[in-house]
Amino acid sequence: MSATTSITLFGIPNCDTVKKARTWLEQQSIPFAFHNFKKDGLTAEQIEIWLQRIELDTLINRKGTTWRALSEIQKSEANNRANAIALMLENPSVIKRPVLQINDDKLTHVGVGFNEQQYQTIFKEI
């Protein structure tokens, strides 16, 4: 990792998957900032950064309780990018967690969810 690399883990602190990712990063002594998107908020611009690198279907958690509680109209409107961003801003719990964002002088890498093997691969590459 270069000196200009910054790592941010986006999520909510009580999510089990976020806890696993935070623990893994700490055990690997990888410095990162944690962004609680319920407390600290999100912007449409931040979500757009993610969507430049990952698919909309990857970012929306269609298996969670927040998604299941949405109306059928809200669910169908989430297929439209602008509507999906508005939905994520209104209901951040519909975002699959955690979102790992790594910025360096060359590129921004975004990963969604936590899988130890995936994280090992990501951090070998940077």
Tokens representing 23 are 């623990």
Is 15 tagged catalytic?
A: yes
Nearest to 48, CA basis, from 12, 3, 101: 101
Catalytic residue among 15, 51, 86, 122: 15
Residue among 109, 100, 114 nearest 126 (CA): 109
Short-list 88, 10, 79, 77, CA closest to 44: 88
Active site members: 15
